[in-house]
Amino acid sequence: MKFGKEFASQMVPEWQAAYVDYSSLKKFLKEIHGVKQKYRQPDTPTRLQRALTLYRSFSGLDPRRNKGGSSFDDHDVENQAILVNSRGNGSGKYETTFLMVAEEGAEYEQEFFKKLDNELNKVDKFYRSKVKEVMAEAETLTNQMHALIAFRIKVDKLQENFDVSGSNDKIMVPMNALQGTTESDNDAKQSSNGCLEIQEENPKKVVSSIRLAPQEVLNHVKLNQAIQAPFSAAKVYCASNTNKTQMNFSKDNLKKIQNQLKQAFIEFYYKLRLLKNYSFLNVLAFSKIMKKYDKITSRRASKYYMRTVDDSYIGNSDEVTKLMERVEATFIKHFSNSNRSKGMNQLRPKSKKERHSTSFGTGFFAGCTAALILALVLIIHARNILDKEGRVQYMESMFPVYSLFGFMVLHMLMHAGNIYFWRRYRVNYSFIFGFKQGTELGFREALFLSFGLATLALISVVSNLDMEMDPKTGDYKALTELLPLSLLLLVIIVLLCPFNILYRSSRFFLLRTSFRCICAPLYKVKFQDFYLADQFTSEVQAFRSVEYYICHYGWGDFKLRQNTCKSNDIFNTFYFIVAVVPYWSRLLQCVRRFHDEKDPMQGYNGLKYFLTIVALCTRTAYGLDRGTSWKAVAWTFSAMAALYGTYWDLVVDWGLLQRRSKNRWLRDKLLIPYKSVYFGAMVLNVLLRFAWLQTVLDLSLSLHRETLIAIVASLEIIRRGIWNFFRLENEHLNNVGKFRAFKSVPLPFYNDEDEDRID
């Protein structure tokens, strides 16, 4: 692989603009190469160059004694093409003087070095700022570790007293009651040597000095209420009804604190690794580009310029390396029981490897899916099933059962396609969703699951194509009628399976996020929460199918394919509720975000979901009771919701339709090089948004009602799949614009000075 492609592939996507613009520098070199080919002049010193040399020697500007630049002690200045100076007393401002100005095409080389200096100054400034950030974060983690050690000692001491007294009561200790120093406190001073030992200039700052006894440490810190109360609502209630700040010294809290700090250290170490890699890649890029320059111009400028790069902050700083060593020592001692192998495996999780078995399984199930679809078509044609008397009953009772798996497979296929294109256009979806490194599903894994489920569902369909009852028993075969229910139960069992099979981390991530969606607005809303809730809003018909499962197999006679679900008032009531719940959950998330962020846009977004709920209810009511009054109301609210939702999709979620952008009617930055893709996606989104028209226009189509419902639901899933790609693209570009490449991990302790920054 060429260095340019390898360089681009190893970039932190959110920092892409902060790296050396290697491709632009290569373009400069191509222009220089063209000029050299045109003139083909030998590289010899000119009279002007010799005069400049004599002037410097008499005026004392000997480059061999240049403090700001490189030390050229082996070559005469006549053989030097460049002179690099550092201005601003080591502030990182570098400027190169090109000495061969009298040659033909020298202006191209001057522009090249001007661009090169700008790139060096840019990466050096960015690296300085990031190192400053991690040093401040390291200091914060040091204070957190001091508090953890003090908390651990206090828990151990109280546990000893608990064992002696045999009391089963909870121990709640007010903060002002913690006084004095014990022998355990002295032990803590020694055990705290494993922390990040960064000296604090201000001795008054909380836990800044390692000399503070554990009791004093706990006197100055408070425990984040989120540790003690699982719900944010409970946190607010506790904070408003507690006169004294209390800390629960329990083993459960200790475990929570340790896990939280453990995740903070892992994330911090990951940040240090990326910074170290950033430094290495940029220095390597300068080396590569200067070697190309020497090769094209037959000069020896790379040696002198690389000395400057090596002496710069990005090439010479070792703060990150030292921090990494301290983090490793602290983490191994306090979070892995001094087991270095275990600790390093947690700090440096192995990258996910593509397995041949996954590719084979994907191909196998894809082939089975295609073969079963072909077999299904041939069986329907051979048996002339479409003309059978039982086909209407089949469509009414069995088609809604099997359509559930169709919706699931289609959504999974759209997700697999999104993953493929996110990776192709370097959208950092694993960071946006908050996946642990190496646990995210690739598109092959998603396809494997999709085709596997499709194969099982099609086997069930092919096995249950009987349109007539058995004349001997007077009913349908119970075994084949129970196949769809068995498959649904199998899916639920696999999803809840606690064993490490079939991507357990991804399954549990889905379950946790789903729980947070259900519990809105009790939890702070993250991107993955409202993203999944949006997916649920496009699966309304799938949830209704689950409701039908319960009615059909619970209260109907599945052996005769008979039920009274659609004429049951309770079923029709839940038909509304099931459709509204996903949108209601999304509305509550908007309310919570409006409360937390004080962003009026969340209020407008919540209004969009409220209009959608009203439109959905009126359309459902019109579908159950075909009256002219319901039709007018359904038309009005559906049109308002569709127009509002379309505008929000294109302008807010996708960031498009910017009139004054570089790409007219799109946005300034685009990941896909073809603008027509964006315009096509916008048109398609509008058309699919109005797919609900068929429910109020009473179009006379030669399709069964259940078939029409399934088609409209499938179109909504396709629209959602398209929306997903551009939504994450816009989120990724927002992260790129803010150089946001790391997730913030809330810390367990805070002090009075940091009270306003509690997460």
| Residue 221 resides in a domain | no
88 Rama sector, left if φ>0, alpha if ψ -120 to 50, beta otherwise = left
Average pLDDT over residues 6-33: 90
Burial class (CB in 10 A: 0-12, 13-18, 19+), 698: exposed
| pLDDT for the residue 218 | 77
Backbone angles phi, psi at 43, to 5 degrees: -90, 85
Average pLDDT over residues 327-345: 92
Contact (CB, 8 A) for 299 and 293: yes
Backbone angles phi, psi at 557, to 5 degrees: -100, 90
328's tokens: 């490793």
**Rounded CA gap, 46 and 43, in Å?**
9
Report DSSP state, residue 21: -
Taking CA 277 as the corner, what is the angle to CA 341 and CA 2, rounded to the nearest 5 degrees? 115
Contact (CB, 8 A) for 132 and 126: no
Q: At what angle do helices 504-518 and 483-496 cross, to 10 degrees?
A: 100
Q: At what angle do helices 504-518 and 527-537 cross, to 10 degrees?
A: 80
| Residue 50 resides in a domain | no
Contact (CB, 8 A) for 617 and 625: no
Residues 9 and 104 grouped into a single domain:
yes
Average pLDDT over residues 116-140: 93
Convert the pLDDT of each residue in 422-463 to its tens digit.
999 999 999 999 888 778 899 999 999 999 999 999 999 999
Contact (CB, 8 A) for 201 and 139: no
Burial class (CB in 10 A: 0-12, 13-18, 19+), 312: buried
Convert the pLDDT of each residue in 609-623 to its tens digit.
999 999 988 888 887
Half-sphere exposure of 558 (CA within 13 A, CB side): 20
Confidence check: pLDDT of 413 > 80:
yes
Range 548-551 contact pairs with CB under 8 angstroms and sequence separation of 24 or more: 548/400, 548/401, 549/401, 549/404, 549/484, 549/485, 549/488
| pLDDT for the residue 98 | 82
Contact (CB, 8 A) for 486 and 493: no
Residues 644 and 560 grouped into a single domain:
yes
Convert the pLDDT of each residue in 625-660 to its tens digit.
766 677 888 888 988 999 999 999 999 999 999 988
| pLDDT for the residue 88 | 53
Q: Which of 44-53, 229-238, 335-344, 354-363 has the lowest mean pLDDT?
A: 229-238
| pLDDT for the residue 35 | 84
Q: Which of 36-45, 112-121, 377-386, 408-417 has the lowest mean pLDDT?
A: 36-45
Domain that holds residue 271: 1-35+79-160+248-349
| pLDDT for the residue 205 | 40
Confidence check: pLDDT of 55 > 80:
no
Query: With bands split at pLDDT 50, 70 and 90, how would you rate the model's confidence at 134?
Result: very high
136's tokens: 């401040």
Confidence check: pLDDT of 507 > 70:
yes
**Rounded CA gap, 411 and 195, in Å?**
47
| pLDDT for the residue 178 | 32
Final residue of a domain: which of 314, 349, 384?
349
| pLDDT for the residue 58 | 45
387's tokens: 């003309």
| pLDDT for the residue 344 | 92
Q: Which of 174-183, 374-383, 396-405, 518-527 has the lowest mean pLDDT?
A: 174-183
More confident residue, 432 or 96: 432
| Residue 188 resides in a domain | no
Residues 11 and 87 grouped into a single domain:
yes
| pLDDT for the residue 141 | 92
Residues 698 and 658 grouped into a single domain:
yes
Query: With bands split at pLDDT 50, 70 and 90, how would you rate the model's confidence at 103?
Result: confident
Convert the pLDDT of each residue in 160-198 to its tens digit.
765 555 544 443 433 333 333 344 444 444 444 445 544
| Residue 590 resides in a domain | yes
Average pLDDT over residues 325-340: 92
Query: With bands split at pLDDT 50, 70 and 90, how would you rate the model's confidence at 391?
Result: confident
705's tokens: 């009602």
From the list 728, 176, 683, the residue with the least C-alpha distance to 424 is 728
From the list 398, 605, 555, 372, the residue with the least C-alpha distance to 482 is 398
Q: Answer whether the bond into residue 521 is a cis peptide, omega within 30°.
A: yes
| pLDDT for the residue 79 | 60
From the list 656, 649, 630, the residue with the least C-alpha distance to 690 is 649
**Rounded CA gap, 692 and 643, in Å?**
12
Residues 541 and 656 grouped into a single domain:
yes
Residues 400 and 462 grouped into a single domain:
yes
| pLDDT for the residue 580 | 94
480's tokens: 């084949």
Specify the DSSP element, H or E, that contains 223: strand 222-223
Q: Which residues of 633-654 are buried (b: 16+ CB within 10 A; e: fewer)?
A: bbbebbeebbebbbebbbebbb
Residues 319 and 365 grouped into a single domain:
no
| pLDDT for the residue 191 | 43
Backbone angles phi, psi at 559, to 5 degrees: -70, -30
Taking CA 442 as the corner, what is the angle to CA 518 and CA 18, rounded to the nearest 5 degrees? 95
Confidence check: pLDDT of 72 > 60:
no
C-alpha torsion angle, residues 23, 24, 26, 28 (rounded to 10): 170
More confident residue, 573 or 190: 573
| Residue 183 resides in a domain | no
Q: Which of 357-361, 387-391, 515-519 has the lowest mean pLDDT?
A: 387-391
Q: What is the mean pLDDT of the chain?
A: 82
DSSP string, 542-557: HHHHHHHHHHHHHTSB
Residues 362 and 259 grouped into a single domain:
no
Confidence check: pLDDT of 322 > 50:
yes
Alpha carbon distances (Å) from 241 to 15, 238, 244, 521, 595? 45, 5, 9, 21, 20
| pLDDT for the residue 68 | 44
| pLDDT for the residue 599 | 93
Confidence check: pLDDT of 329 > 90:
yes
Residues 444 and 305 grouped into a single domain:
no
Final residue of a domain: which of 313, 330, 349?
349
| Residue 490 resides in a domain | yes
Residues 451 and 590 grouped into a single domain:
yes
| Residue 68 resides in a domain | no
Percent of the chain with pLDDT over 70: 80
Final residue of a domain: which of 327, 349, 371?
349
Q: Which residues of 362-396 are buried (b: 16+ CB within 10 A; e: fewer)?
A: beebbebbeebeeeeeeeeeeeebeebebeeebeb
Residues 331 and 366 grouped into a single domain:
no
| pLDDT for the residue 234 | 46
| pLDDT for the residue 587 | 96
Count of domains for the chain:
2
Percent of the chain with pLDDT over 90: 47
From the list 88, 72, 126, 97, the residue with the least C-alpha distance to 281 is 126
Burial class (CB in 10 A: 0-12, 13-18, 19+), 210: middle
| pLDDT for the residue 19 | 94
| pLDDT for the residue 238 | 46
Confidence check: pLDDT of 479 > 80:
yes
List 162's β-bridge partners, or say none: none
| pLDDT for the residue 724 | 97
On whether the pTM is more than 0.75, the answer is yes
Burial class (CB in 10 A: 0-12, 13-18, 19+), 660: exposed
DSSP string, 255-281: HHHHHHHHHHHHHHHHHHHHHHHHHHH
Alpha carbon distances (Å) from 706 to 180, 383, 570, 692? 75, 22, 20, 14
More confident residue, 294 or 625: 294
| Residue 754 resides in a domain | no
Backbone angles phi, psi at 82, to 5 degrees: -135, 160
What residue type is 334 in one-letter code? H
Q: Which residues of 706-723 are buried (b: 16+ CB within 10 A; e: fewer)?
A: beebbebbbbbbbbbbbb
Residues 365 and 324 grouped into a single domain:
no
Confidence check: pLDDT of 92 > 70:
no
